[in-house]
Structure 1
């Protein structure tokens, strides 16, 4: 599915929620750029209104903000803001754990709004895991896991996209020493099922074709470079093919990302984070999108962090948030 230039003019019955990320990071800077890119789109920013106002002044931006609450109409020509206090004074570039509870509330409002039908989708600006761990929840590991818990789902899948390239992951933020144990028949089956189902349900691809990478160099080379392919991956793929899934692989990661091969598939499944994402980010760094599959709602996000050193400087690039917002609008309208 390709993105359309008219996506900002799509008519949606419900708005898209945009969470502003860590208030001291570049999230507020980026969110303030969205009305210029999507002047007619129904967007609602969730964050501290005063932070957004101060950041607009700091950046020299004209950003008319309006107050919004669930159930209220959007005010044309403004950026509607569901005011969610940061919890402490905010200085751009200076993260403060005292704002962590405000950030958690912001994310919960967006997620619950998607679940209860207030929002058609949510788009997230970056948060800082360490700030939230230090100030609110020591067990916080990221947006993806938090949103899964909010939605009450057992497993979600991280997929990043850049232009027409889509790369999903079996494991995400694990040390390499733990990856092999985490690639099991069950985890692989569940990941591929979620990936297949959301390519059908969210992307409207009727018969998804998925290219699966091996875990080891040369996909194990017949067991000489590891047995995970022989013992786990190949038998699992064979079982899923017998159920009707269109799967190719496992293929060596160093030869799988060929244009001709990618053109024959709708997504790539990598076994671990740094196996697939370096290629994707090289293909579209700064404009790549993170989408969480397996949730009962649409969630897209940027492919970068909070960049505290750029907050308030005017140097932050909004390409990834713009792309994430465009995709959320397009998926919500299908």
Structure 2
């Protein structure tokens, strides 16, 4: 009597003799105890239980035995397998959806809008500064404050000129500084962590608002969440900052490529930082009409208070916003100069090898 059997690919094979199946199982070509069924039989059983299988009449020529438990024809029943990377796959799908939302076109549109509206915020803040200086001089009966306000307005005028020149210069630097990475896995994880940090910061700001019963803690949370959210979107689309994923290099070259990405990503979001800080300057200047300086200072993060001029907190933020593009441009050049020196050092072994040949 001949039997059908399930091979190593879980496909139906045969019919062959029982001795042939045992030889195949013994040589490791098929499972050690394969599922088998005799010609004309309907019930699949392990090879080890064949002693209890009763002979059955031979089937018509060319027929194939039916499969047990409703399995597909030609395949024996298989146990259900659990996907070992189920949680990771869920994160990957969620990240893919976010990647489509934070696409390069949308991010570039946001940055362009930030550049334009940031200039309007500086213009509005300059006008508020002049009015506030006059108001403060009348309230304190000190004309000196009005003179200070006029000086600040002149500084903001020059600052807006500087900002207008350097906001576009960053994109040119990024375009003229291409880089490459051997794998995008690291940047994908950076993007995920940046987005999680942005979401966590926003939730923490909302919780602080509920605890303090005030909207003031939400303002810095929104600023930080916006900056990190856009930076996360850039990490998911590294070509936005001229980073290509190709080939393989040394570990040192990979490290330089990653550092260069972070520098270019920081330079890319400068227009957003400029707009957010300019808007904050307008708000603080407006609130200065109704609040004391100490209350206004409490609304500003401690990291920014070092650049504030007492009595002119809002205009100080406006001037800082105007100087951000220039400072970012200079720091980027300085950092790239350092990286070029490191690249030159990394290239020395290769040049020495070529000279030996």
TM-score by length of 2: 0.19
Q: Give 1 or 2: higher strand fraction.
A: 1
The structure with the largest alpha-carbon Rg is 2
Q: Give 1 or 2: higher helix fraction.
A: 2
